[in-house]
Amino acid sequence: MTVEHEIQKAAEILAKAKQAAASCGAGVSAESGIATFRDPGGVWDKLNPAEVGTTSGLLNTLDRNGRKLVPFFIELLEAFEQANPNPAHLALGDLEQMGILKTVITQNIDNLHQEAGNTDVVEVHGNGFRLACISCGKLKTRPRRELIAEIKSRIQELREYNLSTMAAIMPACEHCQALMRPDVVMFGEMVKDIPRAFDAARRCDAMLAIGTSGVVYPAAYLPFEAKDAGAPVIVVNPNENPFSRVSDAYIPMNAGTAMPKLVEAIKALRSA
Protein backbone atom coordinates (compact mmCIF):
# COMPACT_ATOMS: atom_id res chain seq x y z
CA MET A 1 0.00 0.00 0.00
CA THR A 2 1.32 3.46 -0.88
CA VAL A 3 1.49 6.18 1.76
CA GLU A 4 -1.12 8.17 -0.19
CA HIS A 5 -3.44 5.16 -0.03
CA GLU A 6 -2.94 4.94 3.75
CA ILE A 7 -3.67 8.65 4.12
CA GLN A 8 -6.84 8.22 2.02
CA LYS A 9 -7.96 5.27 4.20
CA ALA A 10 -7.32 7.31 7.35
CA ALA A 11 -9.23 10.27 5.89
CA GLU A 12 -12.24 8.06 5.10
CA ILE A 13 -12.24 6.83 8.71
CA LEU A 14 -11.94 10.31 10.23
CA ALA A 15 -14.41 12.00 7.85
CA LYS A 16 -17.14 9.93 9.55
CA ALA A 17 -15.83 10.38 13.12
CA LYS A 18 -17.48 12.66 15.66
CA GLN A 19 -15.55 11.82 18.82
CA ALA A 20 -12.13 10.63 17.77
CA ALA A 21 -9.28 10.48 20.26
CA ALA A 22 -5.58 11.03 19.64
CA SER A 23 -2.94 9.34 21.79
CA CYS A 24 0.21 11.42 21.37
CA GLY A 25 3.86 10.96 22.29
CA ALA A 26 7.09 12.91 22.01
CA GLY A 27 7.17 12.44 18.24
CA VAL A 28 4.36 14.99 17.90
CA SER A 29 6.62 17.69 19.37
CA ALA A 30 9.80 16.57 17.59
CA GLU A 31 9.20 19.08 14.77
CA SER A 32 8.79 21.82 17.36
CA GLY A 33 12.43 21.22 18.26
CA ILE A 34 11.78 19.24 21.44
CA ALA A 35 13.86 16.04 21.48
CA THR A 36 12.11 12.72 21.80
CA PHE A 37 13.31 10.27 24.43
CA ARG A 38 14.27 7.11 22.57
CA ASP A 39 15.22 8.22 19.07
CA PRO A 40 18.96 8.39 18.34
CA GLY A 41 20.30 11.49 20.10
CA GLY A 42 17.17 11.69 22.25
CA VAL A 43 16.92 12.59 25.92
CA TRP A 44 17.78 9.11 27.17
CA ASP A 45 20.89 9.06 24.99
CA LYS A 46 22.15 12.13 26.86
CA LEU A 47 20.78 11.57 30.36
CA ASN A 48 20.50 8.37 32.38
CA PRO A 49 16.82 7.79 33.27
CA ALA A 50 17.95 6.11 36.51
CA GLU A 51 19.77 9.32 37.48
CA VAL A 52 17.17 11.90 36.44
CA GLY A 53 13.96 10.03 35.56
CA THR A 54 12.88 9.29 39.14
CA THR A 55 12.37 11.86 41.89
CA SER A 56 14.87 10.18 44.22
CA GLY A 57 17.39 9.77 41.41
CA LEU A 58 17.05 13.40 40.35
CA LEU A 59 17.38 14.75 43.92
CA ASN A 60 20.40 12.54 44.45
CA THR A 61 22.02 13.66 41.19
CA LEU A 62 21.25 17.33 41.89
CA ASP A 63 22.99 17.01 45.24
CA ARG A 64 25.97 14.97 44.10
CA ASN A 65 26.47 16.25 40.60
CA GLY A 66 24.24 19.25 39.96
CA ARG A 67 26.90 21.10 37.96
CA LYS A 68 26.98 18.28 35.36
CA LEU A 69 23.20 18.52 34.80
CA VAL A 70 23.09 22.29 34.25
CA PRO A 71 24.05 22.28 30.52
CA PHE A 72 21.38 19.64 29.79
CA PHE A 73 18.78 21.55 31.79
CA ILE A 74 19.57 24.76 29.88
CA GLU A 75 19.40 22.86 26.55
CA LEU A 76 16.04 21.36 27.48
CA LEU A 77 14.68 24.68 28.82
CA GLU A 78 15.74 26.49 25.63
CA ALA A 79 14.06 23.86 23.45
CA PHE A 80 10.83 24.34 25.41
CA GLU A 81 11.27 28.13 25.30
CA GLN A 82 11.75 28.30 21.53
CA ALA A 83 9.10 25.68 20.70
CA ASN A 84 5.86 26.56 18.96
CA PRO A 85 2.99 24.29 18.00
CA ASN A 86 4.06 22.61 14.72
CA PRO A 87 1.76 21.59 11.82
CA ALA A 88 0.96 18.33 13.63
CA HIS A 89 -0.34 20.16 16.70
CA LEU A 90 -2.21 22.65 14.49
CA ALA A 91 -3.82 19.85 12.47
CA LEU A 92 -5.09 18.28 15.70
CA GLY A 93 -6.58 21.66 16.59
CA ASP A 94 -8.21 21.75 13.13
CA LEU A 95 -9.67 18.26 13.65
CA GLU A 96 -11.34 19.49 16.85
CA GLN A 97 -12.70 22.57 15.00
CA MET A 98 -14.04 20.23 12.30
CA GLY A 99 -16.04 18.32 14.91
CA ILE A 100 -13.98 15.15 14.37
CA LEU A 101 -11.51 15.00 17.27
CA LYS A 102 -12.81 15.20 20.81
CA THR A 103 -9.88 14.33 23.11
CA VAL A 104 -6.12 14.55 22.89
CA ILE A 105 -4.41 12.20 25.33
CA THR A 106 -0.78 13.19 25.53
CA GLN A 107 2.36 11.91 27.24
CA ASN A 108 3.98 15.28 26.49
CA ILE A 109 4.36 17.97 29.13
CA ASP A 110 5.02 20.90 26.78
CA ASN A 111 1.51 22.48 26.69
CA LEU A 112 1.68 22.68 22.88
CA HIS A 113 -1.64 20.90 22.27
CA GLN A 114 -3.48 23.56 24.29
CA GLU A 115 -1.54 26.32 22.51
CA ALA A 116 -2.61 24.76 19.19
CA GLY A 117 -6.26 25.11 20.21
CA ASN A 118 -7.26 21.67 21.52
CA THR A 119 -9.57 22.12 24.50
CA ASP A 120 -9.94 18.56 25.84
CA VAL A 121 -6.35 17.53 26.58
CA VAL A 122 -5.58 14.69 29.00
CA GLU A 123 -1.97 15.07 30.14
CA VAL A 124 -1.19 11.66 31.60
CA HIS A 125 2.39 12.68 32.40
CA GLY A 126 1.44 16.15 33.63
CA ASN A 127 2.35 19.63 32.44
CA GLY A 128 5.80 21.19 32.90
CA PHE A 129 4.34 24.70 33.31
CA ARG A 130 1.90 23.77 36.04
CA LEU A 131 3.76 23.94 39.36
CA ALA A 132 2.74 21.93 42.43
CA CYS A 133 3.66 22.90 46.00
CA ILE A 134 5.45 19.99 47.68
CA SER A 135 3.94 21.04 51.02
CA CYS A 136 0.37 22.30 50.59
CA GLY A 137 -0.19 20.78 47.14
CA LYS A 138 -1.53 24.02 45.63
CA LEU A 139 -1.16 24.20 41.83
CA LYS A 140 -0.11 27.25 39.83
CA THR A 141 0.02 27.37 36.04
CA ARG A 142 2.52 29.83 34.61
CA PRO A 143 2.96 31.12 31.03
CA ARG A 144 5.52 28.80 29.40
CA ARG A 145 8.14 31.34 28.33
CA GLU A 146 7.81 33.50 31.45
CA LEU A 147 8.48 30.56 33.78
CA ILE A 148 11.40 29.33 31.65
CA ALA A 149 13.01 32.79 31.59
CA GLU A 150 12.71 33.01 35.40
CA ILE A 151 14.27 29.56 35.92
CA LYS A 152 17.05 30.19 33.38
CA SER A 153 18.07 33.45 35.10
CA ARG A 154 18.15 31.71 38.50
CA ILE A 155 20.33 28.92 37.04
CA GLN A 156 22.74 31.50 35.61
CA GLU A 157 23.09 33.10 39.09
CA LEU A 158 24.03 29.76 40.71
CA ARG A 159 27.51 29.67 42.25
CA GLU A 160 27.04 26.46 44.23
CA TYR A 161 25.47 23.35 42.69
CA ASN A 162 23.81 21.24 45.35
CA LEU A 163 20.30 20.15 46.24
CA SER A 164 19.37 23.25 48.24
CA THR A 165 20.79 25.80 45.79
CA MET A 166 19.33 23.99 42.78
CA ALA A 167 15.92 23.47 44.40
CA ALA A 168 15.81 27.25 44.91
CA ILE A 169 15.70 27.84 41.13
CA MET A 170 12.01 26.91 41.30
CA PRO A 171 9.47 29.57 42.43
CA ALA A 172 8.14 29.36 46.00
CA CYS A 173 4.50 28.60 46.75
CA GLU A 174 2.44 31.80 47.09
CA HIS A 175 0.34 30.21 49.84
CA CYS A 176 2.90 28.60 52.15
CA GLN A 177 6.30 29.70 50.71
CA ALA A 178 7.37 26.04 50.38
CA LEU A 179 9.16 24.65 47.33
CA MET A 180 7.20 24.09 44.10
CA ARG A 181 8.00 21.42 41.50
CA PRO A 182 6.80 20.94 37.94
CA ASP A 183 3.54 18.96 38.09
CA VAL A 184 4.95 16.16 35.93
CA VAL A 185 5.08 12.38 36.41
CA MET A 186 8.49 10.88 37.11
CA PHE A 187 9.15 7.16 36.64
CA GLY A 188 7.48 5.22 39.43
CA GLU A 189 4.97 7.98 40.21
CA MET A 190 1.22 7.75 39.65
CA VAL A 191 0.25 8.86 36.15
CA LYS A 192 -2.50 11.47 35.93
CA ASP A 193 -6.10 11.38 34.70
CA ILE A 194 -5.87 7.75 33.62
CA PRO A 195 -9.62 7.06 34.08
CA ARG A 196 -10.38 9.99 31.74
CA ALA A 197 -7.79 8.73 29.24
CA PHE A 198 -9.20 5.18 29.20
CA ASP A 199 -12.76 6.50 29.01
CA ALA A 200 -11.83 8.57 25.93
CA ALA A 201 -10.13 5.52 24.36
CA ARG A 202 -13.14 3.27 25.00
CA ARG A 203 -15.71 5.81 23.77
CA CYS A 204 -13.89 7.11 20.72
CA ASP A 205 -15.11 6.30 17.20
CA ALA A 206 -11.54 6.49 15.86
CA MET A 207 -8.14 6.49 17.56
CA LEU A 208 -5.04 8.23 16.25
CA ALA A 209 -1.74 6.94 17.73
CA ILE A 210 0.80 9.59 16.85
CA GLY A 211 4.51 9.81 17.59
CA THR A 212 4.81 7.37 20.44
CA SER A 213 7.08 4.34 20.78
CA GLY A 214 4.41 2.60 22.85
CA VAL A 215 6.86 1.35 25.46
CA VAL A 216 5.58 3.26 28.49
CA TYR A 217 2.45 2.02 30.26
CA PRO A 218 -0.36 2.61 30.96
CA ALA A 219 -0.43 5.16 28.07
CA ALA A 220 0.69 2.42 25.67
CA TYR A 221 -2.52 0.48 26.36
CA LEU A 222 -4.76 3.24 24.96
CA PRO A 223 -4.73 2.44 21.20
CA PHE A 224 -5.30 -1.27 22.02
CA GLU A 225 -8.14 -0.26 24.37
CA ALA A 226 -9.79 1.70 21.54
CA LYS A 227 -9.29 -1.21 19.12
CA ASP A 228 -10.85 -3.65 21.61
CA ALA A 229 -13.81 -1.30 21.97
CA GLY A 230 -14.34 -1.45 18.20
CA ALA A 231 -12.72 1.80 17.06
CA PRO A 232 -10.46 1.90 13.99
CA VAL A 233 -6.83 2.79 14.78
CA ILE A 234 -4.73 5.13 12.65
CA VAL A 235 -0.97 5.19 13.34
CA VAL A 236 1.30 8.10 12.36
CA ASN A 237 4.96 7.33 13.02
CA PRO A 238 7.98 7.17 10.66
CA ASN A 239 9.28 4.14 12.56
CA GLU A 240 7.92 0.71 13.36
CA ASN A 241 5.97 0.63 16.63
CA PRO A 242 3.71 -1.80 18.54
CA PHE A 243 0.53 -0.20 17.17
CA SER A 244 1.22 -0.71 13.46
CA ARG A 245 0.06 -4.34 13.62
CA VAL A 246 -3.41 -3.35 14.93
CA SER A 247 -3.74 -0.30 12.69
CA ASP A 248 -6.51 0.17 10.13
CA ALA A 249 -4.30 2.77 8.47
CA TYR A 250 -0.56 3.23 9.04
CA ILE A 251 1.09 6.44 7.82
CA PRO A 252 4.89 5.99 8.08
CA MET A 253 5.64 9.71 8.02
CA ASN A 254 6.61 12.56 10.33
CA ALA A 255 3.49 13.88 12.00
CA GLY A 256 4.24 17.45 10.88
CA THR A 257 3.94 16.28 7.25
CA ALA A 258 1.27 13.59 7.61
CA MET A 259 -1.28 15.42 9.75
CA PRO A 260 -1.87 18.45 7.47
CA LYS A 261 -2.15 16.03 4.50
CA LEU A 262 -4.73 14.06 6.47
CA VAL A 263 -6.77 17.19 7.23
CA GLU A 264 -6.67 18.21 3.53
CA ALA A 265 -7.78 14.72 2.45
CA ILE A 266 -10.72 14.85 4.90
CA LYS A 267 -11.76 18.28 3.63
CA ALA A 268 -11.62 16.97 0.03
CA LEU A 269 -13.87 14.03 0.97
CA ARG A 270 -16.30 16.34 2.75
CA SER A 271 -16.53 18.75 -0.18
CA ALA A 272 -16.90 15.97 -2.79
Q: Which residues are catalytic?
A: 125
Q: What whole-number distance in Å separates Cα of residue 263 and Cα of residue 149?
A: 35
In the complex, what is the shortest distance from the CB of residue 176 to ligand APR, in angstroms, rounded to a whole number? 28
Report if residue 107 touches ligand APR, rule: CB under 6 A: yes
Using rule CB under 6 A, residue 118 touches ligand APR: no
Of these, 12, 39, 51, 150, which contacts ligand APR (CB under 6 A)? 39
- Position 212 contacts ligand APR (CB under 6 A): yes
**Closest C-alpha to 231, from 258, 261, 199, 265:** 199
Rounded to the nearest 10 degrees, the angle between the axes of helix 55-82 and helix 144-157 is 120
Complex with ligand APR: residue 50 or 178, whichever CB lies closer: 50
With respect to ligand APR, which residue has the nearer C-beta, 125 or 227?
A: 125
Applying CB under 6 A, the site for ligand APR has a residue count of: 25
Helices (H), the chain: 3-15, 27-30, 43-46, 49-52, 55-82, 87-97, 112-115, 144-157, 163-167, 194-203, 222-228, 255-271
Task: Check binding of 74 to ligand APR (CB under 6 A).
Answer: no
Single residue of 155, 216, 229, 246 touching ligand APR by CB under 6 A: 216
Query: Which one, of 208, 221, 243, lies nearest residue 28 by Cα?
Result: 208
Backbone phi, psi, residue 47, to 5°: -120, 150
Query: Does the protein bind ligand APR through residue 243 (CB under 6 A)?
Result: no
239 binding ligand APR? (CB under 6 A): yes
Residues 218-237, mask of contacts with ligand APR (x by CB under 6 A)? ------------------xx
The reply to whether 103 sits near ligand APR by the rule CB under 6 A is no
Q: Who contacts 107 (Cβ-Cβ below 8 Å, separation ≥6)?
A: 24, 25, 26, 124, 125, 212, 216, 219
42 lies in the site for ligand APR, by CB under 6 A: yes
List beta partners, residue 104.
22, 121
Residues that bind ligand APR (CB under 6 A): 25-27, 30-31, 36-39, 42, 107, 125, 211-213, 215-216, 236-239, 241, 254-256
